[in-house]
């Protein structure tokens, strides 16, 4: 009806069941999935990222999953470009693209059409800023960003050092601000956005059970395998919740039960951050409580929406 191509987005916090719903919809509506997870893009990181299984990926084509080696860097601009290319490819074959994941920045950059500064990493500057954070504290860097780009600084917590440093890097390299450079141009899609949520305490318990299952399924061995392949502890890929705590067990001899407890608490923090992000970027998300929502009903909703577009 609009001349625009359809895109289904499925988002939500960790452990809400996005993968299973995405696969169910793709199977019913001749769809393919574009992963929107900043850790599932990496090869060899399967258990700790709750990556779709080999069987699931055989049943439905997945894009941007197992996309890079853990040593590789993927900027937000690179992800957005790759996602748009995958969406266009799927649409050109008259299939339904589904953007599925929990990485808020990835999803929002795609659906809002962020114009992301194409600024190459300045490693020397990053090291200098990281040293400032280590010696003088995160707040010092954040205060510096408040002077250079106060509007963008308001969006970032001082403890999110990686994003603060990137914003400072852009300011100091280009002489412009992230606020000015991050213009938006909505992409040419007609979108249906489905959000999955559940009671916070129930979700925490579900995430805890999933982490216990990851340990039983071999997460420690997976991390040890990454080390044996030569992937360094300080790689950004290895900073994911679950991996960073197991690394402390393997490198620093911290008891496994203690690092598991820390990983569970860090997962709870991550869930809160995901929910805050999605609430702050809610432009018509159709929320479903997974305690009560029936996946067949959601699939039918998507099917009806798709039919109405034709």
Per-residue pLDDT tens listing for the chain (310 residues): 456 899 999 999 999 999 999 999 999 999 999 999 999 999 999 999 999 999 999 999 999 999 999 999 998 989 999 999 999 999 999 999 999 999 999 999 999 999 887 778 888 999 999 999 999 999 999 999 999 999 999 999 999 999 999 999 999 998 989 888 777 888 999 999 999 999 999 999 999 999 999 999 999 999 999 999 999 999 999 999 999 999 999 999 999 999 999 999 999 999 999 999 999 999 899 999 999 988 999 999 999 999 999 8
Distances (CA, A) of 9 to 21, 34, 101: 11, 9, 8
d(CA 264, CA 215): 12
Architecture in CATH of 123-181: Orthogonal Bundle (1.10)
**Can you say whether the dihedral through the CA atoms of 264, 16, 187, 64 is positive or negative?**
positive
Bridge partners of 98? 8, 33
Neighbours of 165 (CB within 10 A): 22
Query: What DSSP line would sit under 143-156, residue for residue?
Result: HHHHHH-HHHHTTS
- Greatest Cα pair distance, the chain, in angstroms, is 61
pLDDT of residue 182: 75
**pTM over the 0.75 mark:** yes
| Residue 25: φ, ψ to 5° | -65, -45
Neighbours of 171 (CB within 10 A): 23
Note the CATH number of domain 5-115+184-309.
3.40.50.300
**Can you say whether the dihedral through the CA atoms of 73, 76, 77, 79 is positive or negative?**
positive
Domain limits, the chain = 5-115+184-309, 123-181
């Amino acid at each position: 009806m609009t001349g625009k191509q359809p895109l289904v987005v499925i988002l939500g916090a960790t452990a809400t069941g996005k993968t299973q719903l995405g696969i169910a919809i793709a199977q019913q509506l001749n769809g393919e999935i574009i992963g929107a997870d900043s850790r599932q893009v990496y090869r060899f990181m399967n258990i700790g990222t709750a990556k779709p299984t080999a069987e699931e990926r055989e049943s439905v084509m997945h894009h941007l999953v197992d996309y890079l080696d853990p040593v590789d860097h993927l900027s937000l601009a690179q992800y957005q470009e790759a996602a748009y290319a995958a969406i266009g490819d799927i649409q050109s074959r008259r299939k339904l693209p589904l953007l599925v994941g929990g990485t808020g920045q990835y999803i929002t950059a795609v659906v809002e059409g962020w114009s992301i500064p194409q600024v190459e990493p300045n490693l020397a500057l990053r090291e200098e800023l990281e040293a400032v954070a280590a010696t003088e504290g995160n707040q010092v860097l954040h205060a510096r960003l408040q002077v250079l780009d106060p509007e963008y600084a308001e969006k970032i917590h001082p403890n999110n050092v990686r994003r603060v440093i990137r914003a400072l890097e852009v300011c100091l390299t280009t002489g412009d601000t992230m606020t000015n450079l991050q213009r938006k141009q909505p992409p040419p899609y007609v979108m249906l956005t489905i959000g999955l949520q559940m009671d916070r305490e129930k979700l925490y318990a579900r995430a805890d059970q999933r982490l216990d299952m990851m340990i039983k399924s071999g997460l420690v061995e997976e991390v040890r395998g990454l080390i044996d392949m030569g992937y360094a502890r300080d790689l950004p890929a290895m900073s994911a919740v679950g991996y960073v705590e197991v690394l402390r067990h393997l490198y620093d001899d911290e008891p496994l039960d203690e690092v598991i407890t820390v990983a569970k608490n860090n997962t709870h923090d991550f869930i809160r951050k995901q929910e805050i992000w999605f609430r702050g970027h809610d432009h018509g998300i159709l929320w479903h409580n997974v305690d009560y929502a029936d996946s067949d009903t959601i699939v039918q909703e998507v099917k009806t929406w798709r039919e109405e577009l034709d």
